[in-house]
Amino acid sequence: MIHLQPKLMAALREPGVPPVLAALRDALRLEFATIPPYLYAYYSLDRQKNREIASTLRSVFVEEMLHMTLVCNIINALGGTPKMNDPDFIPIYPGPLPGSVESDLVVHLAPYSAAQLAIFLKIEEPEKPLVFPDRLADVVGPPVTIGDFYAGIKQRIAALSDTDFANRPRNQVGPDVVDNAIIVTNKTTAVAAIDLIVQQGEGTATSPNESGDGMTLAHFYRFNQIAKGKRLVANPAAGPDTPPDQRFIYNGKPIVFDPTGVYPAPSDPKTATYPAGSAARQAIDAFNGLYVDLLKSLDQGFNGTPAVLTPAIGDQMTGLGQAARNLMHPPNGGVSLGPSFEYFSGS
pLDDT band for position 1 (cuts 50, 70, 90): low
User: Taking 90 as the threshold, does the pLDDT of residue 262 lie above it?
Assistant: yes
User: Taking 60 as the threshold, does the pLDDT of residue 213 lie above it?
Assistant: no
Provide the residue type at 18 as one letter.
Answer: P
Q: Are 308 and 301 in contact (CB under 8 A)?
A: yes
Q: What's the confidence (pLDDT) of residue 15?
A: 82
Ranges 20-24, 112-116, 138-142, 240-244: which has the least confidence:
138-142
Name the residue with higher pLDDT: 347 or 93.
93
**C-alpha to C-alpha distance for 60 and 254, rounded to whole angstroms:** 20
Ranges 38-47, 119-128, 263-272: which has the least confidence:
119-128
Encode pLDDT of 130-180 as tens digits: 777 776 544 333 356 777 888 889 999 999 999 999 989 999 999 999 999
- Closest listed residue to residue 146, CA positions, set 65, 250, 26: 26
Encode pLDDT of 46-105 as tens digits: 999 999 999 999 999 999 999 999 999 999 999 999 999 999 999 999 998 876 555 568
User: Distances from the Cα of 67 to the Cαs of 101, 127, 134, in angstroms?
Assistant: 18, 19, 31
| Domain annotation for the chain: domains and CATH numbers | 6-261 (1.20.1260.10), 271-328 (no CATH)
Q: Are 70 and 182 in contact (CB under 8 A)?
A: yes
Entry pTM: 0.89
Provide the residue type at 313 as one letter.
Answer: I
pLDDT band for position 336 (cuts 50, 70, 90): very high
The 10 Å CB-count burial string (b at 16+, else e) for 303-312 is: beebebbeeb
Q: Are 122 and 237 in contact (CB under 8 A)?
A: no
**C-alpha to C-alpha distance for 101 and 122, rounded to whole angstroms:** 13
**C-alpha to C-alpha distance for 171 and 14, rounded to whole angstroms:** 26
Q: What's the confidence (pLDDT) of residue 205?
A: 76
User: Distances from the Cα of 123 to the Cαs of 11, 31, 53, in angstroms?
Assistant: 22, 10, 17
pLDDT band for position 334 (cuts 50, 70, 90): confident
Q: Which residues contact 155 (CB under 8 A, 6 or more apart)?
A: 12
Q: Phi/psi of residue 176, each to 5°?
A: -70, -20
Encode pLDDT of 8-61 as tens digits: 677 778 888 999 999 999 899 989 999 999 999 999 999 999 999 999 999 999
